[in-house]
Amino acid sequence: MGNSRCNVGLLCSCLMMVGLVLSGCADRAPKTDIGRETATASSDSESSKPLRVVATYSILGDWVRRIGGENIELTVLVGPEGDAHTYEPTPQDSVALAKADVVFENGLGFEVWLDRLYEASESKGKRIVVTDSIKPRQVVISESQTETDPHVWHLPANAILMANSIASAFETADPSRSSQYRSREQSYVKELNELDAWITKQINSIPNDRRKLVTTHDTFGYLADKYGLEVLSVLGSVSSDSSDPSAGQIAEIINRIRASKVPAIFAENILNPKLTNQVAQEAGVKIVPTLYTDALGPKGSPGEDYLSMMRFNITTMVEALR
């Protein structure tokens, strides 16, 4: 009997030691996240768990991160330098959507792949189209064809409306922390208003006859309409997924560039600059350092967040056109 008691005691001691070792290993185990970009908040109680949030592209993700702060766990599907026009979803994207409480999207035909992906993931996350309060710009392609321009983010006034949509969605999904979301929104809107005033001053320094912006696809229309710029795109479309123009169309574009005495042509971070370089060379116009158009740049770059991206783009435009 004495030996039996000793054996039981020894077994209990061993089990306790194994439990302590496993607990220590769990504490040291690396945490894994889904998606290219994830900002994770820790919590101690069930009620304070972070919202699981998905944003479709990097610029939108930056706004969501600014307003959500430590209250959210964010996954961005199309990360820095990625082109949402042509993006091909991955299995990881489906997993992220399946777990999401809220899904933020641009809308206006920007994420053509999202409906099918969302349905396939069987997600229950609330979809929020952040452009619902914005009147979209229509681009005339031909006498019988128009396109809706999805590139609303290049205008700070639109960014303010979308920030409001983001904060409202967080209030609905997480009412106990609504004051935190609204506080961050108000702080960010102040920065966006300052950005708007700065852009106005910068664009006004460009002579009227030199306010001509040539890019690969039609991405700066909202910016141009507000601040008085003329836009010409090589592809002649708001989508970067358009097929390359024919030799005749390229010749026509080159003639238009020469006739309008465009001082510079701007490359884009989401597109191969080969076609743009060709047009610039044949038109005898300088090619300008790459602008951030449909995506942010990587960390450490001048376009790592929305405010930095906008200031870099405007500074580059002004220096090339003035």
Residue 291 is part of a domain; what is its CATH number?
Answer: 3.40.50.1980
Confidence of residue 3 (pLDDT cuts 50, 70, 90): very low
What does DSSP say about strands 212-215 and 230-233: parallel, antiparallel, or unpaired?
A: parallel
Tell me whether residue 158 is in a domain.
no
Q: Does position 2 have pLDDT exceeding 50, yes or no?
A: no
Q: What pLDDT, on the 0 to 100 scale, is given for residue 38?
A: 46
Q: How many independent structural domains does the chain possess?
A: 1
Average pLDDT estimate for 2-20: 37
Tell me whether residue 217 is in a domain.
yes
Confidence of residue 111 (pLDDT cuts 50, 70, 90): very high
Tell me whether residue 172 is in a domain.
no
Nearest to 53 by CA among 66, 38, 43, 42: 38
Q: Where are the beta strands (DSSP E) in 66-207?
A: 72-78, 102-105, 126-129, 137-142, 145-149
Q: What pLDDT, on the 0 to 100 scale, is given for residue 109?
A: 95
Q: What pLDDT, on the 0 to 100 scale, is given for residue 125?
A: 98
Q: Can you tell me which residue has the tokens 């970009």?
A: 37
Confidence of residue 13 (pLDDT cuts 50, 70, 90): very low
Share of residues in the chain with pLDDT > 90 (%): 64
Q: Where are the beta strands (DSSP E) in the chain?
A: 37-39, 51-57, 72-78, 102-105, 126-129, 137-142, 145-149, 212-215, 230-233, 264-268, 286-291
Q: What pLDDT, on the 0 to 100 scale, is given for residue 46?
A: 53
pLDDT (tens digit, 9 = 90+) per residue, 235-278? 877 777 666 778 888 888 889 889 888 899 999 988 888 888 88
Which residue range forms the structural domain that includes residue 308?
206-321
Tell me whether residue 310 is in a domain.
yes
Instruction: Supply the pTM of this predicted model.
Output: 0.83
Q: Does position 284 have pLDDT exceeding 80, yes or no?
A: yes
Tell me whether residue 149 is in a domain.
no
What is the residue type of 217? H
Tell me whether residue 302 is in a domain.
yes
Q: What pLDDT, on the 0 to 100 scale, is given for residue 260?
A: 84
How is 73-87 classified by DSSP, letter by letter? EEEEEE-TT--TTS-
Q: What pLDDT, on the 0 to 100 scale, is given for residue 271?
A: 86
pLDDT (tens digit, 9 = 90+) per residue, 127-174? 999 999 999 999 887 777 899 999 999 999 999 999 999 999 999 999
128 near 104, Cβ under 8 Å?
yes
Tell me whether residue 182 is in a domain.
no
Q: Can you tell me which residue has the tokens 């769990």?
A: 26
Tell me whether residue 107 is in a domain.
no
